[in-house]
Amino acid sequence: MQHYDMVVIGSGPSGRRAAIQSAKLGKSVLVVDKGSRLGGVSVHTGTIPSKTLRETVLNLSGWRERGFYGRGYRVKQDISIGDLIQRLRKTLDHEVEVLQHQFMRNGVRHTRATAKFVASDRLQLTNENGDTSDVGFSHAMISVGTRPYRPDNVPFDRKHVFDSDEMLSLEQLPRTLTVIGGGVIGVEYATIFSALDVPVTLIESRQTILDFVDREIVDDFLHQMRDRGMAIRLGSTVKEIQVENGSVEITLGDGRTVRSQIALYAAGRSGNVGSLGLETVGIEVDSRGRIKADPETFQTTVPNIYAAGDVIGFPSLASTAMEQGRVAACHAFGVMLPPPPETFPYGIYSVPEISTVGQSEEQVRNSDTPYEVGVARFRETSRGHIMGVDSGFLKLIFSIETRRLLGAHIVGEGATELIHIGQAVINLGGTVDFFVNNTFNYPTLAEAYKIAGLDAWNRMGH
C-alpha cells in the first residue's frame, strides 16, 4: 500500500493550495478528485464560469456603454447561448491546463477516484471502473466542497427548473427567468441575465438580501435592479413549483403566482460528504453536510485530518479557501504562520458589482464607536464621466477617535478591483489622512477614495 505525507480530497481552491504548499515543503502529496477534470466547482460550475459568463454578457451587450448611448445600445444584436459558451470553454480549458501544469511542476500526483476513510490514516479509493485500492497517509485534507441544495419538492428537470450548477448547460437563452434565492449566487445570475434584457423575477423569503453587506450599498443595488425592470419579491415564501405547458408556475405563500419559461433554484448549498465515510473516523457534520474545523488551524476533531473551503461553511469564497488550504498544510508540517489579518474582501460579481471590506455602518454603530462617513459617487469623478458611468458609489467609514479607516464599501462597475485600496489601508492601520494627503492618478475611479476621504475629513472638523 502506498503511503503519502498528505492526501488531499478535492482539487478546488483549498485542495489545490494545500497540495502545492505541502509539495513546496518537500512532502509527498496525492490529490484525489472524482471529477473528470481537475479544479472543482470553482473552475467548472461556480466561480470562474459565472464570472466568465458575466464578462461575456457585459462585452457583447454593450452594457457598460449604455450610460452614453442609451438603453437601446447593443454591440451584438442577437446574443445566443453559443456566444456565451464559446468563451466559457476557452477559459475553463486554460484554467485546467494551468492547474495540471502546477501539479506537475511541484511533483503533486493526482488520481481520479472517490475516496472513503477506512481508518484515521487510510483511505479506500474507488476508480471509475469500480476497482478499489487503499492508500495510507500521515495527514489528510478534506476539500470536497459543496453542491446545490436540492429539496425534494422542487421539480428539477434541467429543462425548466435548474440548480446553479446546471445553469451552464442551458441550450438557449430564456425568454423569462425566475430566480428563487437572494443569496450571492441567485443575485449574480439574476442580474447577469437581466443585463441580457431577459425579464427576471427574484424571489427571497426573507425581507432583506445580502445581510452581510452594508445596508446603504444594498439599498442602492436594489434600486438599480428595480430601475431596469427586475421584479423583486422580498419576504415571499415559495409554496409550490409546477411545470406546465412548457413553463414554470411558482405559487407564493400569499397565493400569488409567478410564471416564467425557466426557474433557477439557488437557495443554499450542502457539503459533498456523503461518500467519505466520516463516521468511521468520528468526524461529525451538520444538517447541511458541513464539517466543523478549527478556525485557526483547520483541523477537524481528528487532529491529522484537516478540512477547508466551502465544506467548512462561512465565508465560502474561493479567495479565503485558498488561504485556508495553505494555512492547514503549513500547520500539518509544523510551519508556524502569523495569524491572517482580521479583514478580507468580499466580491459579489453581480451587475453592478458589489465589494466590501471591514465593518459595515451597522456593525460600527452597534459597537458604539463614534464614526464619520465619507461618500464619493462615481458620476462625480472625471473618469466616471468618460466611462459613461451614471451610478455606483464608494463609502468609507472612519473612527472619529483614532481617525482610522474601519470599513470600505463599493457598489458599481470595477468594485471588486477597487476594494483592495481600502483593504490595504485598513490592514495597515491607515487613517483618513492617507486619502487626504496622497495623490491619486487622475482621471481614475480610484480617485473616488480621495473624494470620499475629503468628504469625511471635512465633516470630522480635521
Which pTM does this prediction carry? 0.94
- pLDDT tens track, the chain, 462 positions: 999 999 999 999 999 999 999 999 999 999 999 998 999 988 988 889 999 999 999 998 888 787 778 777 878 878 888 888 888 999 999 999 999 999 999 999 999 999 999 999 999 999 999 999 999 999 999 999 999 999 999 999 999 999 999 998 898 999 999 999 999 999 999 999 999 999 999 999 999 999 999 999 999 999 999 999 999 999 999 999 999 999 999 999 999 999 999 999 999 999 999 999 999 999 999 999 999 999 999 999 999 999 999 999 999 999 999 999 999 999 999 999 998 898 999 999 999 999 999 999 999 999 999 999 999 999 999 998 888 788 999 999 999 999 999 999 999 989 999 999 999 999 999 999 999 999 999 999 999 999 999 999 999 987
Provide the pLDDT for residue 66: 78
Q: Which grid cell is 80?
A: 445566443
Kindly give, in sequence order, each residue whose CB lies less than 8 Å from that of residue 116, ignoring residues fewer than 6 positions away. Answer: 123, 124, 125, 126, 275, 276, 277, 280
- What number of CA atoms fall less than 13 Å from residue 105's CA on the CB side? 9
User: What domains lie within the chain, and their CATH numbers?
Assistant: 2-148+270-332 (3.50.50.60), 161-266 (3.50.50.60), 346-459 (3.30.390.30)
pLDDT for residue 389:
83
368 vs 364: CA distance, rounded Å: 7
Q: What nine digits make up the cell of 180? A: 428563487
Q: Which three cell numbers stand for residue 184?
A: 450571492
Cα–Cα distance for residue pair 447/434, rounded to 1 Å: 13
| Per-residue model confidence (pLDDT) at position 395 | 98
| Confidence at residue 155, expressed as pLDDT on a 0 to 100 scale | 97
CA distance 85 to 154: 27
287 contacts 165 by C-beta, under 8 angstroms: no
Positive or negative: CA dihedral 185, 273, 143, 134? negative
Q: pLDDT at position 48, please?
A: 92
Give the pLDDT of residue 78.
83
Amino acid letter, 79: I
Secondary structure (H, E, C), the chain: CEEEEEEEECCCHHHHHHHHHHHHCCCCEEEEECCCCCCHHHHHCCHHHHHHHHHHHHHHHCHHHHHHHCCCCCCCCCCCHHHHHHHHHHHHHHHHHHHHHHHHHCCCEEEECEEEEEECCEEEEECCCCCEEEEEEEEEEECCCEEECCCCCCCCCCCCEEECCHHHHCCCCCCCEEEECCCHHHHHHHHHHHHCCCCEEEEECCCCCCCCCCHHHHHHHHHHHHHCCCEEEECCCEEEEEEECCEEEEEECCCCEEEECEEEECCCEEECCCCCCHHHHCCCECCCCCECCCCCCCECCCCCEEECHHHHCCCCCHHHHHHHHHHHHHHHCCCCCCCCCCCCCEEECCCCCEEEEECCHHHHHHCCCCEEEEEEEHHHCHHHHHHCCCCCEEEEEEECCCCEEEEEEEECCCHHHHHHHHHHHHHCCCEHHHHHHCCCCCCCCCCHHHHHHHHHHHHCCC
200: β partners: 177
